[in-house]
Structure 1
Amino acid sequence: MNRAALVVIDVQESFRQRPIWAYGSNPDMIRQVDRLVAAARQRGDLVVWVLHSEPGTGGLFDPALGYVRLIDGLVPAQDEPTLVKTAHNAFTTTNLQQLLTQAGITDITVCGIRTEQCVETTTRVGADLGYRMTFVTDATLTFPIPHRALPDTATVAEILADPRTLTNEEIVTRTEYALAGRFATIRTVDELVGATVVGSGG
């Protein structure tokens, strides 16, 4: 029998403090994550929350600043673990794999921030570890990516004006192409929530 888990990655206040937040790919992401969480709870799936931390850096991911916490409105249930990672993927610097093994998890659904970074990287590592991965694109969020030659001091306006900048749409498309058929099945929130609603009546 397959047992499933939903892993919610880095949906934290750190990102909302960045000027680029207003240009995110998916303004509806928080509601979509909330729908996935509700559906997972209804099915009895394990829900795991993951936060990203960069201690001692003085940046927005330094826990000393107080932003390494879930975005307001997302609240774990009492029995849902919250893990704190310091690497891009959710496995390397946490006990996520141990938790999943103890719970007998074979299938993982992932969502969160950023689409092509921590969520995609977690998906790739999870697939390599033998889990059946589901990537829910419309419950992820990303931001335009500047060209490597653009200085770190570039403003949001400069990033958006640079023709070399990867747009949100390009990032999402590339991520789906890279993952589908190799590392994960791409699904939508409506597909997963709909399956729960249909299944709950039988």
Structure 2
Amino acid sequence: MRQVLLIVDVQPSFSPPAWLLRDIDRLLGHMPTVATVECHDEAITPFQAQLGWRPPEQERSLIAADRHFVKHGYRPTNEVLHHLIQLAPERVLVCGIQTETCVLAAGFALFDLGLRPTLITDLTLGSSLDPSGALGARLWRHHFRHTTTLTELLATGT
């Protein structure tokens, strides 16, 4: 099965644990990889005005993905989505930070394009509302159905 890995916002400002970086790295080299990085531009997404906080203006991914894209806001940019379409995957595996917000927003964007989003449930973290990511995983299953785990992927030789 042709797969692509989308890594959502695994960046220093979100303080990912070492195990998340290590385990995502285990998938590198097995398929094309794309990482997003959340950066702030108030003119594009008014985080400060609406929520009273903002991500950093400059940031980098902590994962050595094949391609990196900056985004402003919750969902992947059209540039990210176009790149994923060009890779013509049968499914897009999704992992990263903020399972119930940014990761879920990526799922909706991928679903709307017919790219069969599949959440790697043990490679996501939630927000301060739900650090475990369980709420986001439940929402994902409800909306998109498809989930997997790192163990399942490694067992298939992904």
Give the corresponding residue for 2:140: 179
Runs of 4+ with deviation above 6 angstroms: none
Is the partner of 1:192 in helix, strand or coil?
helix
Give the corresponding residue for 1:31: 22
Larger radius of gyration: 1
The one-letter code of the counterpart of 1:122 is A
Give the corresponding residue for 1:168: 131
Give the corresponding residue for 1:161: none
Give the corresponding residue for 2:38: 52
Is the partner of 2:40 in helix, strand or coil?
coil
Q: State how far apart, in whole Å, the 1-side matches of 2:151 and 2:60 are.
A: 27
Q: State how far apart, in whole Å, the 2-side matches of 1:124 and 1:81 are.
A: 21
Report the CA distance shift for 1:182/1:55 in structure 2 as closer, same or farther (over 3 A). Answer: closer
The Cα RMSD (Å) is: 2.4
List runs of 5+ in structure 1 lacking aligned partners: 146-166, 198-202
Give the corresponding residue for 1:97: 81
The one-letter code of the counterpart of 1:48 is V
What does 1:182-193 align with in structure 2 at a 5 Å threshold?
Answer: 182-193=143-154
For each residue in 1:143-176, what CA deviation from the matched residue of structure 2 results, as whole angstroms up to 9, or x when unmatched? 432xxxxxxxxxxxxxxxxxxxxx434xx33222
Q: TM-score, normalised by structure 1?
A: 0.65
Report the CA distance shift for 1:60/1:97 in structure 2 as closer, same or farther (over 3 A). Answer: closer
CA contact (8 A) 2:141 2:147 kept: yes
Q: State how far apart, in whole Å, the 2-side matches of 1:81 and 1:193 are.
A: 22
Q: State how far apart, in whole Å, the 2-side matches of 1:69 and 1:104 are.
A: 26
The one-letter code of the counterpart of 1:120 is L
Displacement after TM superposition at 1:101 (Å): 2.2
